[in-house]
Chains A and B, each alone.
Chain A
Amino acid sequence: MPESLLVRGGRVVDATGERAADVLIEAGVVVAVEPGLHGDETLDAAGCVVAPGLVDLHTHLREPGHEEAETIETGARAAARGGFTAVVAMPNTEPAQDDPAVVAAVLAAGARSTCDVRAAGCITRGRRGTDLAPMGELHALGVRVFTDDGACVESAAMMRRALEYAGSLPGAVVAQHAEDAALCEGGHMHEGEWSSRLGIPGRPAVAEVSVVARDCLLAELTGTPVHFLHVSTEGAIALIRDAKQRGLPVTAEAAPHHFTLTDAECASFDPMFKVHPPLRSAADVAAVKIGLADGTIDAIATDHAPHAPETKERPFEEAPPGMLGLETALGLTLTELVEPGVVSLSDALALLSWRPAAVAGLVDHGGPVAPGRPAHLVVFDPAATWTVDPARLASKARNTPYPGRTLTGRVRHTLRAGEPVVIDGEAQR
């Protein structure tokens, strides 16, 4: 690595505001932020925004267990190309991240990758919802986010015990995949007009809303923070808004597909549009946007869910749920939210960087671009347009629902601790 690296000519945007400035980096740390600096090597940021690296609270890296779909290395590369410098790796691996050895292996592979990979831990062993996972041991390895994602913690009693127990672990947050399994049983898409027309069994909105209602009450009872993963319904967002007004320790994230796509996409019967929770109605999409704009929703999280191609060549009802997200999240946010004026650019970055960093307790990420801070940075051109081409994705999988879609906002460089892991849009390793 060179002695010093200069990110030159950009507009720095962080939680403290924005200014035109160069950013000088030495030994992985920001040493100066002001105009007219010089460095041994230079990355051009003219016309670009220079911001704290993006933070994804919800990434499926599939390793261990489903390396045919993604590995920690390929997923981290996709993250870097998407402008993310940190991702929280969901624990529904095989074996699950319910054991210190599995978590340690994920963290070790992450340390060699191009992104800061933080492992989430399971709430219950094997994500079965019956016995607590060793949350304390996982916490000692640095785990702060606990979730059975992919599965909802069904039992109110189990959820209550998990919240009580996590209360003794500093910084721990319990993240719920809020979908009542009994209400969703056999369902593959949002229940409503389109499921009724298409004859595809539905997953009703009330399955999400009812679990959010219950878990807001449990957050109140126990005082332990609850984070709601990928909220997708008007009803759940209204409950979270209300809970926050009452001062309850709840946070929430929304996925780009839930502010971009509706259940009408399922009329193609293309399983690229199958995801849990499902693509919802236009009214729900509008509610997600309002929730993002008014602060009810704390973070945009990708729910990046790679699947091997042949699994998406099955009929809709037989294909696994999930879609790629890391490489399109920034572009979708700028295209769907910033361009139409739903949120400002700096609020969009708050949703993609510093607010999720705060939820997951990632103190090195999302922080201001200031001397002394680790140089986890994203440099992106907010006006550049590009067209999503599945063949050009860094992810090992190809299951993006956006092929051919033109997005505004393209990552130019990504720096992980001062290392330029992406230069001019290309992954460096």
Chain B
Amino acid sequence: MMRHLLSIDDLERSDLDELLDLGESFLAVTRRDIPKVPALRGKTVVSLFYEDSTRTRLSFETAAKRLSADTMAFSVSGSSVAKGESLRDTVQTIEAMGVDAVVVRHPSAGAPHRVATWIDAAVVNAGDGRHEHPTQALLDALTLRRHRGIGLDGARVAIIGDARHSRVARSTAKAFAALGAEVTLVGPPTLLPESLIGWPVATTGDFDELLPSLDVVYLLRIQHERQDATLFPSLREYTTRYGLTVERAARLKPDTLIMHPGPMNRGVEIAAELAEGPGSVITEQVANGVAVRMAVLYQLLGTGAPVA
């Protein structure tokens, strides 16, 4: 029985399959006229976001509401340090209000792990620094599974961009690999992990060479706010070498899927017309996000009764 969802590492293959199966069921629920089940009635889910986020936060709140849980939002502008209250004090205050799950987004790696050691409520990692974003990985896996079938065995996935500084890459690469995909990180060495121990991936600096063999092109967002002259010379050069341009897309197989965790920089990591093109599953990813977050909350807080 899962107590928290902190890292993809915590999940066995069977846990992953179970969560994704549940995600499929909830996806069906979200397509009903009244997309709501009473599974978590009487439970309270609080979102504790130390970092700005629109989509992840809305997605979690929607997921909780569709399970009939009560929701609270605790938003922190600036850091906890600036406010003078320690993270521990903050979460203990929230727990004292009587909550069943805390969804934590924090700019520091491991913050949700620390929270989990301090309180009894279930903790869900909604993104911690550069470390992990496990529900993003689950929604990506669900999206891919819906196109490829249950196993991803042998699917060739390239994750292009700043994997070194990306919590999405850390989680999604592990989830895809655990489901049987072959994952390659693509980018200049300044954007690739310093060490590959513990990463079930290959790496390359040569995107073009991979193009014809890929089943999935997963583009990471280039972080303008973090973009730093020491990582690559310019956005223009990045796009030239690693952007999914129309020319590069023409060299992909016809059924290659294009994924992106959003928000996109159109014209930088992905050409504008490809984002809505036939291979793109980017809006499906968003829809699947609500379903897998329902699955996670249900697994953590549910009674185990059938979904509905």
| A and B are partners in one complex rather than unrelated chains | yes
Q: Is A110 an interface residue (CB 8 A)?
A: no
B108 engages A197 (CB within 8 Å): no
Q: Is B247 an interface residue (CB 8 A)?
A: no
B81 engages A318 (CB within 8 Å): yes
Q: Is B196 an interface residue (CB 8 A)?
A: yes
Cα(A324)–Cα(B167), bound, Å = 32
B195 engages A269 (CB within 8 Å): no
A313 engages B88 (CB within 8 Å): yes
Q: Is B110 an interface residue (CB 8 A)?
A: yes
Contact with A along B168-199 (1 / 0, CB 8 A): 00100000000000000000000001111111
Using a CB–CB cutoff of 8 Å, the interface residues on chain B facing chain A are: 79-81, 86-89, 106-111, 113-114, 128-132, 164, 167, 170, 193-199
B93 to chain A, nearest CB (A): 13
A318 engages B199 (CB within 8 Å): no
Q: Is A196 an interface residue (CB 8 A)?
A: yes
Q: Is A316 an interface residue (CB 8 A)?
A: yes
A199 engages B109 (CB within 8 Å): yes
B114 engages A202 (CB within 8 Å): no
A188 to chain B, nearest CB (A): 9
Cα(A310)–Cα(B193), bound, Å = 32
Q: A197-B198, A202-B194, A268-B113 are in contact. List 9 more A-B contacts (CB 8 A).
A: A192-B195, A196-B193, A197-B195, A198-B110, A199-B131, A199-B132, A200-B110, A201-B130, A313-B86
- List the 10 closest A-B pairs by CB distance, nearest first: A269-B110, A315-B108, A199-B130, A199-B131, A317-B108, A315-B111, A313-B88, A197-B198, A193-B197, A196-B195
What is the chain B residue whose CB lies nearest that of A195? B194
A329 to chain B, nearest CB (A): 28
B190 to chain A, nearest CB (A): 13
Contact with B along A297-315 (1 / 0, CB 8 A): 0000000000000110111
Contact of B167 among A199, A270, A317 (CB under 8 A): A199
Q: Is A191 an interface residue (CB 8 A)?
A: yes
A197 engages B197 (CB within 8 Å): yes
Cα(A318)–Cα(B114), bound, Å = 12
In the complex, chain B residues whose CB is within 8 Å of the CB of A197: 170, 195, 197-199
Give the tally of cross-chain contacts (CB within 8 A).
81
Cα(A195)–Cα(B197), bound, Å = 10
In the complex, chain B residues whose CB is within 8 Å of the CB of A268: 113
Cα(A298)–Cα(B89), bound, Å = 43
Cα(A292)–Cα(B128), bound, Å = 39
Cα(A195)–Cα(B193), bound, Å = 9
In the complex, chain B residues whose CB is within 8 Å of the CB of A202: 194
What is the chain A residue whose CB lies nearest that of B81? A318
Cα(A200)–Cα(B196), bound, Å = 14
B197 engages A199 (CB within 8 Å): no
In the complex, chain B residues whose CB is within 8 Å of the CB of A270: 114
Cα(A253)–Cα(B79), bound, Å = 37
What is the chain B residue whose CB lies nearest that of A185? B230
In the complex, chain A residues whose CB is within 8 Å of the CB of B110: 198, 200, 269, 315-316
A57 to chain B, nearest CB (A): 32
A317 to chain B, nearest CB (A): 4
A401 to chain B, nearest CB (A): 15
A315 engages B198 (CB within 8 Å): no
Cα(A330)–Cα(B89), bound, Å = 35
A273 to chain B, nearest CB (A): 11
B86 engages A198 (CB within 8 Å): no
Contact of A315 among B87, B194, B199 (CB under 8 A): B87
A317 engages B80 (CB within 8 Å): no
A271 to chain B, nearest CB (A): 8
Using a CB–CB cutoff of 8 Å, the interface residues on chain A facing chain B are: 191-193, 195-202, 204, 268-270, 310-311, 313-318
Residue of A198, A201, A311 with most chain B CB atoms under a 10 A cut-off: A198
A269 engages B130 (CB within 8 Å): no
Contacts A197-B199, A199-B170; A317 near B194 (Cβ below 8 A): no
In the complex, chain A residues whose CB is within 8 Å of the CB of B167: 199
Cα(A193)–Cα(B197), bound, Å = 6
In the complex, chain B residues whose CB is within 8 Å of the CB of A317: 107-109, 129
A310 engages B86 (CB within 8 Å): yes
Cα(A193)–Cα(B198), bound, Å = 8
Contact of A196 among B89, B106, B194 (CB under 8 A): B194
Residue of B88, B109, B128, B193 with most chain A CB atoms under a 10 A cut-off: B109
In the complex, chain A residues whose CB is within 8 Å of the CB of B88: 310, 313
A199 engages B129 (CB within 8 Å): yes
B203 to chain A, nearest CB (A): 12
5 A-B pairs within 8 Å (CB atoms) are namely A198-B109, A311-B86, A313-B87, A315-B129, A316-B114
Cα(A307)–Cα(B111), bound, Å = 19
Cα(A268)–Cα(B130), bound, Å = 16
In the complex, chain B residues whose CB is within 8 Å of the CB of A314: 80-81, 86-87, 108
What is the chain B residue whose CB lies nearest that of A312? B86
In the complex, chain A residues whose CB is within 8 Å of the CB of B109: 198-200, 269, 315-317
In the complex, chain A residues whose CB is within 8 Å of the CB of B194: 191-192, 195-196, 202, 204
Residue of A195, A198, A199 with most chain B CB atoms under a 10 A cut-off: A199
Cα(A267)–Cα(B165), bound, Å = 17
What is the chain B residue whose CB lies nearest that of A197? B198
Residue of B87, B107, B110, B193 with most chain A CB atoms under a 10 A cut-off: B110
In the complex, chain A residues whose CB is within 8 Å of the CB of B164: 196
A193 engages B170 (CB within 8 Å): no
Residue of B108, B128, B130, B195 with most chain A CB atoms under a 10 A cut-off: B108
B197 engages A196 (CB within 8 Å): yes
In the complex, chain B residues whose CB is within 8 Å of the CB of A191: 194
A315 engages B114 (CB within 8 Å): yes
In the complex, chain A residues whose CB is within 8 Å of the CB of B89: 310, 313
Cα(A195)–Cα(B110), bound, Å = 12
A203 to chain B, nearest CB (A): 11
In the complex, chain B residues whose CB is within 8 Å of the CB of A200: 109-110, 129-131
A264 to chain B, nearest CB (A): 11
Cα(A202)–Cα(B194), bound, Å = 9
Contacts A317-B108, A318-B108; A196 near B80 (Cβ below 8 A): no
In the complex, chain A residues whose CB is within 8 Å of the CB of B86: 310-311, 313-314
What is the chain A residue whose CB lies nearest that of B192? A196
In the complex, chain A residues whose CB is within 8 Å of the CB of B128: 199
Residue of B131, B170, B199 with most chain A CB atoms under a 10 A cut-off: B131
In the complex, chain B residues whose CB is within 8 Å of the CB of A316: 108-110, 114
Cα(A191)–Cα(B130), bound, Å = 14
Cα(A254)–Cα(B157), bound, Å = 46
What is the chain B residue whose CB lies nearest that of A319? B108
B167 to chain A, nearest CB (A): 6
B85 to chain A, nearest CB (A): 9
Residue of A202, A269, A317 with most chain B CB atoms under a 10 A cut-off: A269
